[in-house]
Amino acid sequence: MNTVSQPLLRLENITKRFKELIAVNGVCLDVPLGEKLVIIGPSGSGKSTLLRSINLLEKIDEGSIQFEGREVGYVMRNGTRHLDHSQAISALRAEIGMVFQHFHLFPHMTVLGNVMEGPLTVQRKPAAEARAIAVDMLVKVGLPDKSDVFPATLSGGQKQRVAIARALAMRPKLMLFDEPTSALDPELVGEVFDAIHTLADEGMTMVIVTHHMGFARELADRVVFMESGNFLAQGTPAEVFGSGQDNERIRGFLNRLL
Amino acid sequence: MALLFLCSLAGSCFAEDYDQLFRASNDLMAQGDLAGAVTLLNQVPAPVAGGDAGAFVSSRMQVARIHAAENDLDRATASCQEVLKLFPDNNEARNFVAALDALRKPRWHTILADILRFLPSLAKGTLMTLLLVLCTMLVSPLGGLLIALGRISTLRPVSGLCWFIIWFFRGTPLLLQLFFIYYGLPAFGITLPPLTAAVIGLGLNYSAYLGEIIRGAIQSIDHGQMEAAKAIGMSYGQAMRRIIIPQTYKRLMPPVGNEFIALIKDTALVSTIAMVELMRSADQLFNTYFNITALALAAVIYLVLTTIFTFIFEKIEYRAGIYEHR
Ligand SMILES: Nc1ncnc2c1ncn2[C@@H]1O[C@H](COP(=O)(O)OP(=O)(O)O)[C@@H](O)[C@H]1O
Ligand SMILES: [Mg+2]
């Protein structure tokens, strides 16, 4: 039996290259159940690539991923690493929700249709059940009255909340947020943070990439600073953001943001 | 000069013997001097004072014929009327007047008669054209989708085969493809009825064209859509079917509509492989009656078909994109 200290997600020596460029450089990371982990760092430091590697949207070159104690995503065949068969990959992705910077809502479906789509098509739930789940999720993100409109009619903040509801409808065990507020007008950022806070209060495990230090400080159990594909530092928000921070680069980065 | 001479000649033999006058008028007509002939013939007097009734009628009828030949229908009629005033029962004059009246009737009368005469066989041809169009419209989007998905497949043999199909069917004339399927395949022991050969030829050709159009539309959809679909656990097939392909409909409609309009006209090519469709029907009528009304009518029918289809595609395009309207 797994011990209680078993992390929900364990990354071991993840390396991802794009031709010559090393986007993620041998990163190790444990995310215990219920943790709210925030990743910060300059643009191009590999945050998105790391997040996308977790749900196998990127195929890593080295390392291993364990989810709930199982090795996932890759199999060894004839001495080389291959992506696991597609059903296994889809099954893993179904357990990990992802929210993108640019929402990527399905424009040809209503808001309700977007949120229902996972339960309906992936989990093959009856339409009535999928609808009930979708309505619940829309209530959770504060958009029950937008069920029947198309995404084109929504504001950016509303779109991102629908995207969160769409991910939640799959009942994921882990949520990944890749700069969920970076494409939003400043006055719309708050409503998305509120939705994420609600989720955090429910105990959801999440990994969030953000440039909003105030939000990170408030929400995070742990903050990781990433640069050039490496973790330069990690700790509690107080440790990373506090006056005790003695790393020049991190100080510089934080000063530029504040 | 000749006229003056003949006039004096005619005067000299007045009321006695009109043979000379008729012969002279014939000579004038032979020379192309129709006006002179008319003047001469009109000198034959009315037979009031015991004149020669036969010569009078003959002369006026000849005048009428000359005017009719010159397309001067009114004066031709007037000349007949001169005869009828004295001889109301003269059949020749009456028939001629009736014929002139018939000529005066508006042309659309005869055109209408032609249309009614040609319409049944053209309608049959139109039905065959529609059958071909509908069969191809059913087959080619499916074929095109398969070819498009094959082209973007990561399996080399599949994408290679689909590339070849597109390369071949876009790179050779449809007419040649139809000939090959209908006249060429029997050499390999495959003999197809004309309709089957036509649908296979049109279907393959249009699948190849639509394949490229559909591939372009699929690849124009934002990559984020596929990623978002995968991120909620969808398979490639589910993402294509539920997310990507439905978003291509609006973009597909204008080019696919164009292709289908071209298809309606391209069906005319199958007339060369023993199919009697609209073009062939019109051609047969034209060759039988030497009447261009058959061709004009076929043109009108093609225009009606293309107009209807254009209208339908515009409606579908609007509906397919309704989610983009704010
Ligand atoms: N698909 C790709 N192909 C080539 N290079 C890429 C690709 N995706 C990301 N990169 C590169 O990898 C590095 C890390 O990118 P990314 O993970 O997006 O950084 P971040 O999210 O921290 O801004 C960058 O230099 C970026 O240009
Ligand atoms: Mg990024």
Within a domain: A180: yes
Question: Hey, how many other C-beta atoms are within 10 angstroms of the C-beta on B137?
Answer: 19
DSSP A120: I
> Tens digit of pLDDT for each residue in B78-98?
999 989 998 888 888 988 888
pLDDT at B17 over 80: no
- Of residues B2 and A98, more confidence is placed in A98
CB A235 within 8 A of CB A32: no
Task: Tell me the sheet residues that pair with A18.
Answer: A21
CATH level 2 (architecture), domain B108-325: Orthogonal Bundle (1.10)
Asked if residue B10 has pLDDT above 60, the reply is no
Tens digits of residue pLDDT in A25-40: 999 999 999 999 999 9
- How do strand A62-67 and strand A70-72 relate by DSSP bridges? antiparallel
In the beta sheet, which residues pair with residue A62?
A15
Determine the average pLDDT of the residues in B288-299. 89
CB atoms within 10 A of CB B290: 8
Nearest to A160 by CA among A134, A135, A136, A185: A185
Structurally, chain A folds into a number of domains equal to 1
For residue A239, is it within any domain?
Answer: yes
Judged against a pLDDT cut of 60, whether residue B15 lies above it is answered with no
Neighbours of A90 (CB within 10 A): 19
Return d(Cα B72, Cα B153) in angstroms, integer: 76
Q: How far apart (Å, rounded) are the C-alpha atoms in residues B106 and B282? A: 24
pLDDT bucket at B52, cuts 50 / 70 / 90: confident
Contact B326 A170 (CB under 8 A): no
**For residue B264, pLDDT beyond 90:** yes
Tokens 């029947």 — which residue? A148
> Which-ligand-closest: CA of A44?
1
φ, ψ for residue A199, nearest 5 deg: -65, -40
Q: What is the ipTM of this complex?
A: 0.94
CATH of the domain at A104: 3.40.50.300
C-alpha to C-alpha distance for A79 and A77, rounded to whole angstroms: 5
Residue B7 in this model has a pLDDT that exceeds 70:
no
Nearest CA in chain A to B324: A152
| Ligand 1 neighbour A46 (Cβ under 6 A) | yes
Mean pLDDT within A92-120? 97
Interface contact flag, B236 A86, Cβ < 8 Å: yes
Query: Is A69 a domain residue?
Result: no
Instruction: Give the structural domain span for A41.
Output: 35-51+87-257
Which residues does B165 contact at the CB level (< 8 Å), separation at least 6? B147, B204, B207, B208, B211
> B108-325: same fold as B14-104?
no
DSSP symbols for B114-140: HHHHHHHHHHHHHHHHHHHHHHHHHHH
Q: Which CATH superfamily is domain B14-104 in?
A: Tetratricopeptide repeat domain (1.25.40.10)
B12, pLDDT greater than 70: no
Report yes or no on A66 lying in a domain. no
Amino acid B326: pLDDT: 62
pLDDT bucket at B322, cuts 50 / 70 / 90? confident
Average pLDDT on B291-318 reads 92
- Using a CB-CB cut-off of 8 Å, the residues of chain B touching A121 are 234, 238, 242
Interface of B with A in 232-251 (CB under 8 A): 232-236, 238, 242-243, 246-247
CB A166 within 8 A of CB B227: no
Task: Please report, for residues A206, A242, B232, B296, the alpha-carbon distance to residue B178 in angstroms, rounded to integers and kept in the order given.
Answer: 62, 79, 47, 26
User: How far apart are the CA of B223 and the nearest CA of chain A, in angstroms?
Assistant: 9
Is pLDDT of A96 > 90? yes
Of A176 and B50, more confident? A176
* Cα angle: B2, vertex B8, B13; to 5 degrees: 125
* Other beta carbons less than 10 A from residue A237's beta carbon: 17
What is the A46 CA–ligand 2 centroid distance (Å)? 7
Please check whether residue B229 touches A, CB under 8 A: yes
**B315: Cβ contacts below 8 Å, ≥ 6 apart:** none
Q: Percentage of chain A surpassing pLDDT 70?
A: 98
Eight-class DSSP state of A177: E
Q: Over 90: is that where the pLDDT of A160 sits?
A: yes
Task: State how far the alpha carbon of A217 is from the alpha carbons of A21, A246, B67, B240, in Å.
Answer: 31, 18, 109, 40
pLDDT for the residue A247? 84
Q: pTM of this prediction?
A: 0.79
| Pick from A4-8, A117-121, B121-125: least confident | A4-8
Q: What's the pLDDT band for B132 if we cut at 50, 70, 90?
A: very high
Closest ligand relative to A17 C-alpha:
1
CB of B132 closer than 8 Å to CB of B277: yes
Question: In terms of residues, how long is chain B?
Answer: 326
| B47 against A132, higher pLDDT | A132
Instruction: Identify the pLDDT of residue B176.
Output: 95
Structural domain contains residue A210 = yes
> Distance from the CA of A206 to the center of ligand 2, in angstroms?
16
Instruction: Inform me whether the pLDDT recorded for B319 exceeds 50.
Output: yes
Q: Is the pLDDT of residue B196 over 80?
A: yes
Question: Mean pLDDT lowest for which of A106-120, A198-212, B14-28, B163-177?
Answer: B14-28
**Do A87 and B235 lie within an 8 Å CB cutoff?**
yes
Residue B16: band (very low, low, confident or very high) from pLDDT cuts 50, 70, 90: low
Ligand 1 nearest-atom number relative to CA A24: 14
- A206 domain residue, yes or no: yes
Q: Cα distance from B245 to chain A (closest Cα, Å)? A: 10
- Residue A4 predicted with pLDDT over 90: no
pLDDT for res B2: 45
**Above 60 in pLDDT, residue B6?**
no
Mean pLDDT along residues B192-207: 95
DSSP-derived secondary structure for A181-201: TTTS-HHHHHHHHHHHHHHHH
Q: What is the mean pLDDT of residues B244-265?
A: 93
pLDDT, residue B95, reads 86
DSSP string, B43-62: TSPPGGGS--HHHHHHHHHH
- Which residue(s) pair with A24 in the sheet? A16
> Chain-wide mean pLDDT for chain B?
89
Count, residues in chain A: 258
Residue nearest atom 26 in ligand 1 by C-alpha distance: A44
Assess whether pLDDT exceeds 70 at residue B204.
yes
**For helices A186-201 and A127-140, angle between their N-to-C axes, nearest 10 degrees:** 110
Both tokens assigned to A221: 């159990």
| Domain residue ranges of chain B, discontinuous segments joined by + | 14-104, 108-325
Over residues B241-259, the mean pLDDT reads 93
Q: Per-residue pLDDT for B267 more than 50?
A: yes
The pLDDT tens digits of the residues spanning B93-124 come to 988 888 888 777 777 777 888 888 899 999 99
- β-pairing, A62-67 with A230-235? unpaired
**Residue A258 pLDDT:** 66
pLDDT score at B320: 86
Among the bound ligands, the one closest to the CA of A100: 2
Q: What percent of chain B has pLDDT over 90?
A: 59
**Res. A63: pLDDT tops 50:** yes
- Round the average pLDDT of chain A to a whole number and report it: 93
pLDDT of B13 reads 44
Place of tokens 């018939």: B102
Do B205 and B177 meet the contact criterion of CB atoms below 8 Å apart?
A: yes
- Quote the CA–CA distance of B221 and B233 in Å, as a whole number: 19
pLDDT at residue B5 is higher than 50: no
Tell me the shortest Cα–Cα distance from A30 to chain B, in angstroms: 21
